[in-house]
Chain A
Amino acid sequence: MLRRLPYLLPLIVLAGLAGYFWSGLGRDPNTLPSVLIDQPLPELALAPIAGRERGLVTADLKGQVSLLNIFGSWCVACQAEHPFLMQLKAEGRVPIHGINWRERDADAGPAWLRRLGDPYTLIGADPDSRAAIALGVTGAPETFIIDAAGVIRYKHIGPITRDIWEKKLWPIVERLRRG
């Protein structure tokens, strides 16, 4: 039997894999639900980025509905998203907070914002991914909708576009505001 085991192994591994695939089918690959939905925002106390005085502390996000956007100067998709965030800021519909994730160089994030404009009300620096891990971030950009009680209500993965904003995110913000 022991001699046969190596020959049986591929079959056993395949059976295991098959079970996993089965469970993965039928899900919409574009919605990665976060286990943090409807959970209070983890306790964050992030230092400010260079050139700003305030960082980002969880308590600051309570009191009104806001967006929390994960970005980095190294992230191409963030750059694609950025002009829309600027428009959103100009329209003044909802405060946008940012977490500047995984910058190798402390000045890279601020330089990027100086160049492209800064849509964020509060920004916390997260060079070592502590906040990103606590938030279960899968990549940048990612945007959380936080309600007035500081509870995470929605998570969007990938750049926000006008279309996504009007169809998906804004209705949620409006609903949360109504309570």
Chain B
Amino acid sequence: MTVELGHFALVLALLVAIVQGTVPLRGAARGSEPLMAVGRTAALAQFLLVLLAFLSLMNAYVQSDFSVLNVAQNSHSAKPLLYKIAGTWGNHEGSMLLWVLILALFGAALALFGSGLPQALKARALGVQAWVGVGFYLFILLTSNPFARLDPPPLDGQGLNPLLQDPGLAFHPPFLYLGYVGFSMAYAFAVAALIGGRVDPGWARWVRPWTLAAWIFLTIGIVLGSWWAYYELGWGGWWYWDPVENASLIPWLAGTALLHSAIVVEKRDALKGWTVFLALVTFGFSLLGTFLVRSGVLTSVHAFAQDPARGVFILLLLLLFAGGGFALFAWRGPRLAGGGLFRPISREGSLLFNNLVLSVAAATVLLGTLYPLLLESMGGDKVSVGPPFFNRIFVPLMLPLIAAMAIGPMLAWKRGDLGQAMKRLMVAAGAALAAVAAVSAILGSIEPAGVLGLALAAWLLAGTITELAQRIRLFAAPLAESLRRLKGVPLGAWGMTLAHAGFALMIAGMTGSQVWRQEATLVMHPGTAVAFAGFEVGFDGVASVPGPNYIAERGRFTIRNGKRIVAQLEPEKRRYPVEGRETTEAAIRTTAWGDLYLAVGDARDDGARVVRLYFNPLMLWLWFGAAVMVAGGGLSVLDRRLRLGAPKRVRTGAVPAAARS
């Protein structure tokens, strides 16, 4: 299978997308069923064509076909297979191809599983989605062709950035893109609703599972990226407020707000205009994220291609899609009359509060990321906005949100009773106080920020469990009755419980690792030991170990607690001869209490090494909490599908054929 075939398939996909972007919309306007049905066929055909294009490029990578420019620039024959495959999207052109593949995948999923949707809404959503596709196909074909040939072909490739040769990062971009691109569904539904002029609880019910799916993927993507930064960059931190990290956090915050406001539309037919706006803006932020990473507007540790021509193109796409959506919103939005009224103290009120905080948080991160650029374009000073800004603004913003997160689910719709809710949360308040007391007792000193963080985490966790206990009338009814009710708890409610509880665990992890973190940078001679964070860290020496496509200098450290050996840690410094670059592989000993983290640096002339030691308390809680949160999202998605009625299993005979190609 040659890449020319892939190139051809991509051009065909563009043509099919143009058809999909016109015929179904016309059909929806006229009420013509056959025209609307074109959308479904076109979406499936589009997906198969892009899949073919993607597989042909991946094949070139696996075969190490260096006559393809993209492969020659980003791969090498000595690379392990996993990274040959991951190399397909480890570069600008290939990652854009993955972008459109995922876009087409979502389109095909809507075509297949959206059979319960109102036909006009589905046709319009597919049409809008196709236009997003058209924009990005043109972008790839005109400015970032991954299929270009090289003549004469080089004997071997230039290799993939070794930092990217890591399992965490091999799967980070696909998940991130699944999230970014998944929000295109929310966007497509919002534009379709604006065209159709109707936003109702049914609409919210259709949008929510797609948004949830995108949110889950984006969460996984962000966490994988953060985890990778944690163990690969060797700096002991997990979040650097790097512009590219921020670019993924902004749509996450907006998407989280959207998930919650869609509930209000669904249950109470209120906040409609706001929800549509959030759907538009979330995808807008996803495009902005793509733009920021691709255009070179911002300096970042991991910026990809920095090509102004591409930047201009993505900026135009961003303007076209966000601008088009907003223009439609300005024109049609005022007609989305609000439905149910509610008091400030109510479930709706608390969800609105959630939305306000998350929107302000998203705006803050956006401002902090763009501020240096804005200031410069106004001819002002050069500034960079670093972690202190974000920590000072973002963290205090989150505190009231977390405090309210436990209360909100306890309030009734329309009009809640705050006093009653607080009474039920006595246990949670007790748990928070107990956390404060326990931490102070164990550590013997009070670090206000740390105590506050852990108290909030305990409050939220206990509050979330209290909500579940109330729901099943635990201790208020006989145990058998409670168990019966427990079985009846809908998956969506379990989803919320898990997501909120997971977030509570994450707060504990973030607090622990930020507030009580210990670090030291030392020059150590082999055979010596230092006391660090209650351990004795002995440096045994360094050995050279060859890897598949690198040479590692592996340090050996023996960690003792008292006399007992608790761990042998082997951090590495790897040198990749092909790329001429070095990477750090930190060695981490993880326990529930904290991570002992070692990174080994350069050798000095006398054989001593620079060693970086970190102790990050409660780090595991952060990763575990994230996993719990994602699991909560997953349960919620499953629930929605059940409530929609089991989707009609459309025969998917087309899929195996696609997998063969």
Binding site for B on A (CB under 8 A): 3-4, 6-8, 10-11, 14-15, 17-18, 20-26, 28-30, 32-35, 76, 79, 83, 115-116, 136, 138-139
Q: How far is the CA of A14 from the CA of B376 in the complex (A)?
A: 18
Cβ of A150 to closest chain B Cβ, rounded Å:
21
Tell me if B1 counts as interface (CB < 8 A to partner A): no
Q: Quick check: B303 and A29 within 8 Å, CB to CB?
A: yes
With the chains together, A146 CA to B521 CA distance in Å?
32
Asked if B323 contacts A23 (CB within 8 A), the reply is: no
Known A7-B329, A7-B330: A24·B376 in contact at CB below 8 Å: yes
CA distance A6 to B376 in the complex (A): 29
Q: How far is the CA of A139 from the CA of B303 in the complex (A)?
A: 18
Q: List 21 A-B contacts (CB under 8 A).
A: A3-B334, A6-B273, A7-B273, A7-B333, A7-B334, A10-B280, A10-B330, A11-B327, A14-B322, A18-B319, A20-B370, A20-B373, A21-B297, A21-B373, A22-B315, A29-B297, A29-B298, A29-B299, A34-B382, A136-B381, A138-B384
Please state if B334 and A138 are interface contacts (CB–CB under 8 Å): no
Known: A29-B303, A29-B306, A34-B382. A18 touches B280 (CB 8 A): no
Does B326 sit at the interface, judged by CB under 8 A? yes
**Chain B minimum-CB-distance residue to A10:** B326
Docked-complex contact A25 and B308, CB < 8 angstroms: yes
Q: Quick one: CB contact mask for B366-384 with A, threshold 8 Å, 1 for yes?
A: 0000101110110001111
Q: How far is the CB of A91 from chain B (nearest CB, A)?
A: 16
Q: Among the interface residues A7, A14, A34, A136, which one has the most CB atoms of the partner chain B within 10 A? A: A7
Contact B384 A139 (CB under 8 A): yes
Q: Is the CB of B382 within 8 A of A26?
A: no
Q: Identify the closest chain A residue to B375 (Cβ).
A: A20
A residues near B284, Cβ cutoff 8 Å: 14
B334 and A4: CB pair below 8 A? yes
Q: Find chain B residues with CB under 8 A from A34 CB.
A: 382
B330 to chain A, nearest CB (A): 5
CB within 8 A of B326: which of A3, A14, A22?
A14
The closest CB in chain B to the CB of A15 belongs to B323
Residue of A nearest to B299 (CB): A29
Tell whether, in the assembled complex, residue B383 and residue A138 are in contact, meaning their CB atoms are under 8 Å apart.
yes
Contacts of A25 in B (CB 8 A): 295, 297, 308, 311-312, 315
Overall SS of chain B's interface: helix
Which B residues lie within 8 Å of A17 (CB)? 370
- What distance in Å separates the Cβ of B405 from its nearest Cβ neighbour in chain A? 27
Q: A12 → chain B, closest Cβ, in Å? A: 9
Taking CB as reference atom, which chain A residue is nearest B324? A11
Q: What separation, in Å, do the CA atoms of A21 and B290 have in the docked complex?
A: 13
Q: Which residues of chain A are near B383, meaning CB under 8 Å?
A: 136, 138
Residues in B neighbouring A22, C-beta threshold 8 A: 315
Question: B373 touches which one: A3, A11, A24 (CB < 8 A)?
Answer: A24
Most-contacted residue by chain B among A8, A21, A33, A79 (CB, 10 A): A21
Roughly how many angstroms separate A115 CA and B333 CA in the complex, as a whole number? Answer: 64
- Knowing A21-B297, A29-B303, A76-B235, say if A11 contacts B308 (CB, 8 Å): no
CB-defined contacts of B308 to chain A, threshold 8 Å: 25-26
A105 to B: closest C-beta gap in Å: 14
Q: Could you tell me if A139 and B523 are in contact, using CB atoms closer than 8 angstroms?
A: no
Whether A24 and B377, one on each chain, are in contact in the complex, defined by CB atoms closer than 8 angstroms, is yes
Q: Nearest CB to that of B303 among chain A residues?
A: A29
The yes or no answer to B490 lying at the interface (CB within 8 A) is: no
Please tell me which one of the listed residues A14, A35, A115 contacts residue B319 in the complex, with CB atoms under 8 A apart.
A14
Residues of A within 8 A of B277 (CB): 10
Q: How far is the CB of B139 from chain A (nearest CB, A)?
A: 15
A23: contacting residue among B299, B377, B521, CB under 8 A: B377
The answer for the CA separation of A26 and B310 in the assembled complex, in Å, is: 10
Residue A136 contacts which of B315, B319, B382 (CB distance < 8 angstroms)?
A: B382
The residue in chain A whose Cβ has the minimal distance to the Cβ of B295 is A25
Closest A residue to B522 using CB positions: A115
Residues of B near A15 (CB, < 8 A) are 323
Please give me the residue from chain B that is nearest to A79 by CB atom: B521
C-alpha spacing A23/B235, complex, angstroms? 34
Residues of B within 8 A of A11 (CB): 323, 326-327, 329-330
List 6 extra interface pairs beyond A14-B284, A26-B311, CB under 8 A.
Answer: A6-B273, A11-B327, A18-B315, A18-B318, A29-B299, A35-B382
Instruction: Using CB atoms, name the residue of chain B closest to A22.
Output: B315
Q: Tell me if B114 is interfacial: C-beta within 8 Å of chain A.
A: no
Contact with A along B316-351 (1 / 0, CB 8 A): 001100110011011001100000000000000000
Q: Which of A29, A33, A115, A139 has the most CB of B within 10 A?
A: A29
Q: Would you list which residues of chain B between 521 and 542 have a CB under 8 Å from chain A?
A: 521, 523
Chain A: minimal CB distance from B637 (Å)? 28
CB within 8 Å of A: which of B383-408?
383-384, 386
Is B296 part of the contact surface with A, judged by Cβ < 8 Å?
Answer: yes
Query: Cβ of B4 < 8 Å from any Cβ of A?
Result: no
